[in-house]
Amino acid sequence: MNKTLLIISGGAEAIPGIQKAKEMGLFVVVSDGNKNAPGFAFADDQIVASTYDIELTIKKSKDYNNNIRKIDGVICMASDVPLTVATVANELSIPGITIESAMLSSDKIAMKDKFFSDNISIPKYKELFNVDDLKSTIDDWGFPLIIKPVDSRGARGVARLDHKTDINWAWNFAKENSSTERVMVEEYLEGPQVSTESLIVNGDCFTIGFSDRNYELLDQYFPFVIENGGDLPSFLSEKTQSEIKILVSEAAKSIGVKNGVVKGDIVVSNSKPYIIEVATRLSGGYFCSHEIPLNTGVDFLSNAIKIALGESINLSDLIIKNNTYVSQRYLFPKAGKVIKKINGINNLRKMKFVKFFDIRVREGTVIPETTSHPSRAGLLIVTGKSRLDAISNAEFAVKSIEFEYIES
């Protein structure tokens, strides 16, 4: 009998992972709270339960495991629910990170406290308890700063603080985006930022994904912190990249991940790398499913799935085979407008350098203000003969998409 993999997330970005698991010959069960989750159409079976509802997911997973089909592994894809995954793994006695590791990666203050105690380089940080606490911290630390929820994701509730920011608004914005109403502040370190994606195998860290984060729209969307894609391979020196990989490995050990996936956000300031935060899950934005394989030739998803099933990893499969230039960029229609028509999609299909695109808006969609990453209207991934060529191709492809709006 084929092994059964439970994927806790059925959104559009989970579909490549579901398809990969099917290619591997697995029986795939997808769990999601949306009865119309797009991932259900690609799965062998489904469980309807919110990815954030741990108790319900446990109950339904145990019922499925005991009465329908034994579950051999559990994983989440492009969904920040490591605690749900770890708790299900613990309840079913199947491979997974510990609940403690999942809790540390889900609580930014607990994570930073652990990193601080283990002497891992991080920006200065502090938990806040009211707006006066924030104002006092600003008096002590000065600007610029970043305020964020302790337990959110996708840049929800995150804002840059400087002399132009409405401090009372920023406090409320962060608090409203926290399910526990917990807020923190950290120093904003100037310098390039990178996203990493690593596989942890028996305590050893293999950082396969390494992308320069693109923040060219930071001032345009101030005070919101909006990323506009990324570029691979990194422009950073081999020495700095090596230091970052060591730092990610130390972070993974700090939170106790021995077998699993660690996604890292790092900033390099004054030539020194700092961990902003890590997540014990596969990334969104099609980074692990499309960008990493295009850039490195490594099948990241299949190895992550093997780890989730407790299967052995052939380390030769983790060797980077090539270094193709890849760029990813997002789409930003005009906020407040209603989409009348989207032009240029057929042109994208004809561009050989466009390897993937995902348009998330449709005719009739009302474009919201861009305040977090879920606000972005779509993305595309391209390749090029050089870094500049890939970036140029991405910019050309973005400009080829034209949004027409209904006049108000």
d(CA 96, CA 189): 34
Helix, strand or coil for residue 153?
coil
Q: What pairs with residue 278 in β-bridges?
A: 264
What are φ and ψ of residue 328, in 5° steps? Answer: -125, 135
Query: Which tokens is 180 given?
Result: 């526990």
Q: What is the pLDDT of residue 1?
A: 59
Longest dimension (CA), the chain: 64
Mean pLDDT by 10 residues, the chain (408 residues): 93 96 98 97 98 96 98 93 97 97 96 98 97 97 97 92 96 96 97 98 98 95 95 98 98 98 97 97 94 98 98 96 97 94 95 96 94 92 98 97 90
d(CA 316, CA 318): 5
d(CA 52, CA 36): 17
Q: Are strands 325-330 and 145-149 parallel, antiparallel or unpaired?
A: unpaired
Q: Determine how many CB atoms are found less than 10 A away from the CB of residue 65.
A: 20
Query: Which tokens is 364 given?
Result: 């009739």
d(CA 89, CA 308): 9
pTM over 0.85: yes
Residue of 97, 100, 42, 106 lying closest to 75 (CA atoms): 97
What are φ and ψ of residue 294, in 5° steps? Answer: -60, -45
d(CA 324, CA 347): 23
Q: What is the pLDDT of residue 378?
A: 94
DSSP labels for 304-344?
A: HHHHHHT----GGGGS-----EEEEEE--PPTT-BEEEEE-
d(CA 210, CA 194): 7
Q: Determine how many CB atoms are found less than 10 A away from the CB of residue 167.
A: 14
What are φ and ψ of residue 121, in 5° steps? Answer: -65, 120
In Å, how far are 81, 142, 229, 327 from 376, measured between CA atoms? 21, 31, 11, 17
Q: What pairs with residue 210 in β-bridges?
A: 196
- Please, is 221 exposed, middle or buried when counting C-beta atoms within 10 Å of its C-beta (0-12, 13-18, 19+)? buried
